[in-house]
Structures are given as C-alpha cells and as structure tokens.
Amino acid sequence: MGELFAVVRCPAELCGEGTGFIEPVALPAGCETMARSTVQRIVEMPPPPRERARAVHEAAHAVTHHMAGERIEFVRVDAPAMVRITPGRISNATRLLSLMVGVAAEQRLVRMTYRTPDAALTPYVEAVKALAMGGCDKCRALTIIAAEIGVDAAAETYATRFRKEEDRAETFVREPVVWSSIVEIADELMKHGRIDGERAHEIAARHVPFGSIEIGNLK
C-alpha cells in the first residue's frame, strides 16, 4: 500500500520546474506550499526516496537560519521537503542568502559550480514583475531583489544581482564549519526524514554558534 499524495503545481508554473511535484494530502495546518499551489489530482504511490542532494539543500537552509538567530521549528526532507522557522528580524541580505544556500549546497555536494543563465531566469523575473510569482526559493529571492533594484528594472539587472547572491551563497557553504554543520544535519535527515528544531540547533551549534553571523556583512 502506498500513501496518498496531492500532485500540485506552482501558480506561476515555475516552482515545479514544469513537471509538478507531490505533497502528502494530510499537511500541517497553514502549509505555505499547499496554500500557494493548485491541487491537480490525488494519487496513491510509495513515498519518494530520500535524496542526499535534497537533504543537503534543506540542511543548508537550517544552518543559515541558525546562524542568523532564527528559531527552527523542524527540518524535513520527506515530501514536502522544507524548513519551518519562526522568522526573526534580519536584513534582506541575510534573508536572500537563506534562500540561495540550498542550491549552493547541492552544487558543493557534487563539486560543481553552476550559474543560472539569463534565459532560465527571465521567466521568473517576468512572474515577479507581474506579481504572479510562486513560493519557491528562486521566486522569493527575486522578490527581495525587486524591492532593492526596483520591480521595473531590466532583466539583465536582475540577473546580475541574482548571480552576486549565487556567489555569496557558494562562498558561505564552502566555509568548513558551515559545511560540517550542513553535512551532519543532512545525515540525520537521511536517517529519520524529519528532525525537530531543537535537534537541528543542537547539531549546528557543535560547529557554529546560534546567531553568530549577520550574513549581510559576509564578503
């Protein structure tokens, strides 16, 4: 017997990378992703396998929130993978990095550096300008960038700013203490699928103190 999943799609048809994605039908109340998505159908299927890249992605988000001084409620790699936090009052630069580190960590895992080409970024920029963006990390990051550079800025300006944040995120996850924290939390996620915030903070604190960096000052 499988579990019931809802096949959903970002309203901007971007966040699901054009293929849709799945979420358990019985989601916690107030789940942002389900609220912002369109249920397409209910299917019964085995839970998707845990992927190391996804575990590293979510662990990177968790470590960044820890270092920014934000309280983590839980970290989950099983669908829908997410980090739930109690948001704190942090700078836009810090919030941007917290959104960008997931992909940077995935690239670090496979020893690859990749920058989003203009053609791939343009649909997201157009969605932000039309206020039709979804809830993925990329849409949310570009929304913050729009507030800084002006929503009507040229697509090339968005791309330049976005790549600066990609560079910042890559630098951040390559810090040895940061990477050690990410790997250890990812190990726990691969074992258990979900860990509570207290456990995530405990692991991260072995390497980096809570609230130890204002990421907006990271060079």
| Inter-residue contact 78 to 190 (CB < 8 Å) | no
Q: Quick one: 32 and 119 in the same domain?
A: no
Q: Quick one: 135 and 196 in the same domain?
A: yes
Q: Quick one: 36 and 90 in the same domain?
A: no
- Predicted confidence (pLDDT) per residue in 159-206, tens digit: 999 999 999 999 999 999 999 999 999 999 999 999 999 999 999 999
In a domain, 214, yes or no: no
CATH of the domain at 196: 1.20.58.760
Q: Quick one: 141 and 201 in the same domain?
A: yes
Q: Quick one: 93 and 168 in the same domain?
A: yes
Residue numbers of the domain that contains 87 = 52-205
Q: Quick one: 40 and 79 in the same domain?
A: no
What pLDDT was estimated at residue 133? 84
- Predicted confidence (pLDDT) per residue in 22-57, tens digit: 444 444 444 444 444 455 555 555 555 678 999 999
| Inter-residue contact 36 to 134 (CB < 8 Å) | yes
Domain count, the chain: 2
**Hey, what's the torsion of the CAs at 132, 92, 157, 16, to 10 degrees?**
-40
- Predicted confidence (pLDDT) per residue in 88-112, tens digit: 788 888 899 999 999 999 999 988 8
Q: Quick one: 33 and 57 in the same domain?
A: no
Burial (CB count within 10 angstroms: exposed 0-12, middle 13-18, buried 19+), residue 77: buried
In a domain, 217, yes or no: no
Query: Which has more pLDDT, 198 or 2?
Result: 198
* Residue for token pair 């570009």: 142
Q: Quick one: 196 and 148 in the same domain?
A: yes
Q: Quick one: 23 and 117 in the same domain?
A: no
In a domain, 115, yes or no: yes
Q: Quick one: 105 and 31 in the same domain?
A: no
What pLDDT was estimated at residue 200? 98
Q: Quick one: 79 and 181 in the same domain?
A: yes
Task: Note every long-range contact of 25-29, with CB atoms under 8 Å and residues 24 or more positions apart, other chains counting.
Answer: 27/80
In a domain, 181, yes or no: yes
Which DSSP string do the residues of 175-199 spell out, in sequence order?
A: SHHHHHHHHHHHHHHHHHSEEEHHH
Q: What gap in Å lies between CA 180 and CA 172, rounded to an integer?
A: 12
In a domain, 215, yes or no: no
pLDDT at 87 over 60: yes
* Residue for token pair 């809570």: 210
In a domain, 112, yes or no: yes
In a domain, 211, yes or no: no
Q: Let me know how long the chain is.
A: 219
Q: What gap in Å lies between CA 186 and CA 212, rounded to an integer?
A: 21
Query: Which has more pLDDT, 62 or 219?
Result: 62
Q: Quick one: 16 and 117 in the same domain?
A: no
